[in-house]
Amino acid sequence: MSLAPPASALAAPLERETAPHRSELGAIARRFAADRWALAGLLFLTLLTLLAWSAPWFVPHVLHASAFRLGMMDHIQIAGRTVEVVSADGVPVGPTRAYPLGADLIGRDVLARMIYGARISLLVSALGTLLAVFLGALAGLLTGFYRGAVDTALSRFVDAMMAIPILLLAIALASVLRQGSLWTVILILGLVNWTYLARIIRGEVLALREKEFIEAARAVGAGDARILLRHLLPNLLGPLLVFTTLSLAGNILLESALSFLGVGIRPPAPSWGNMIEEGMAFYRVAWWITLFPGLAILLTVVSLNLVGDGLRDALTPGTHDRSRP
């Protein structure tokens, strides 16, 4: 008589380990909802995303403006008098009823360009983060699961990549690739950020690969691909989710820096970084051109960090101090 337990008995602990319970998901949601700062950040990001993706409808129909129309020769009414949008000495009009956040140096509406710039900044950072998550998760899973030569080769490559400052590496990649292309910037953001996630995932996999549910999966004949995708990856969703949120904030800053330095998104396509660069020479007399895109970057990055911290605290209760001002 065989004393080996049936396959269903071996698979049971595996299912309990990998299948998230509804009660656990509900507890995570309640802990996240209890963090008012994380909720405020999530609300801001939701409104910003909706505004950005509705830009083709919102800007022409609500603002009655264009993000690309040059208004240098236009005239507007301010307090009953007619003034030029861009004066004879090259100074654009500041925040007014016609231009809620002022005009730029060639008479374009700053608010309209900020809304369109949000589309580009959010899209580029999101796709760049997804690429970094894919590369980092793949490298971390392979190095942590297989060890040996694969771990040694990839780990040394990760060490070499992490030794180079991110901004310097991004500028070097931009200099050899097609500058100004949206997809080039996305590729750069993905290639410079995946190494940090690879380190995190490798450490998690090294601990998980020794767990009982992995041994149970092997006992019922699961192959390496099934173990990696069905049993290890679901247990890494927490770190992946937190990294994704925090990496979005870093990628918005990096994209803005590249655009500011002239190797990212190039005009006339608006992004928050190149809008700041366009107004830097006139910041003393036309401060609104740089101030408002800078505030947009600040609020977006802070909101993403608040949401990331809230997710981290909700997923790992009791391990972090959640008392934020």
Q: Are 233 and 224 in contact (CB under 8 A)?
A: no
Give this prediction's pTM.
Answer: 0.84
- pLDDT on residue 179: 66
With bands split at pLDDT 50, 70 and 90, how would you rate the model's confidence at 252?
Answer: very high
Residue 113 has what DSSP assignment?
H
Domain ranges for the chain, please list them.
24-85+116-315
The amino acid present at 177, given as its one-letter code, is L
- pLDDT on residue 306: 93
With bands split at pLDDT 50, 70 and 90, how would you rate the model's confidence at 6?
Answer: very low
Q: Which has the higher per-residue pLDDT, 7 or 193?
A: 193
CA dihedral (105, 108, 114, 116) positive or negative: negative
Long-range contacts of 1-6 (CB under 8 A, 24+ apart): none
- Tens of pLDDT, residue by residue over 197-223, are 888 888 888 888 777 877 787 787 777
- Tens of pLDDT, residue by residue over 68-87, are 888 878 778 777 788 888 88
In the numeric block, which tokens belong to residue 204?
């998690």
- pLDDT on residue 231: 78
- Tens of pLDDT, residue by residue over 102-159, are 899 888 999 999 999 999 999 999 999 999 999 999 888 888 888 778 788 888 888 8
- pLDDT on residue 93: 86
Helices (H), the chain: 7-18, 22-33, 36-53, 55-58, 110-146, 148-162, 166-176, 182-208, 212-219, 224-226, 237-261, 272-279, 288-315
- Of these ranges, 68-72, 233-237, 243-247, the one predicted with the greatest mean pLDDT is 243-247
Q: What is the mean pLDDT of the chain?
A: 83
Long-range contacts of 51-58 (CB under 8 A, 24+ apart): 51/115, 51/118, 52/115, 52/118, 52/119, 52/122, 53/119, 55/115, 55/116, 55/118, 55/119, 58/115
* Integer Cα distance of 278 and 122 in angstroms: 20
Q: Which has the higher per-residue pLDDT, 260 or 150?
A: 260
- pLDDT on residue 50: 95
The amino acid present at 5, given as its one-letter code, is P
With bands split at pLDDT 50, 70 and 90, how would you rate the model's confidence at 173?
Answer: confident
Q: Which has the higher per-residue pLDDT, 14 or 259?
A: 259
Q: Are 90 and 154 in contact (CB under 8 A)?
A: no
With bands split at pLDDT 50, 70 and 90, how would you rate the model's confidence at 67?
Answer: confident
User: Which fold is adopted by the domain 24-85+116-315?
Assistant: MetI-like fold (1.10.3720)
* Integer Cα distance of 27 and 85 in angstroms: 55
Q: Give the containing element (helix H, strand E) for 76.
A: strand 75-78
- pLDDT on residue 129: 94
89 by Cβ neighbours in 10 Å (0-12 / 13-18 / 19+) ranks as exposed
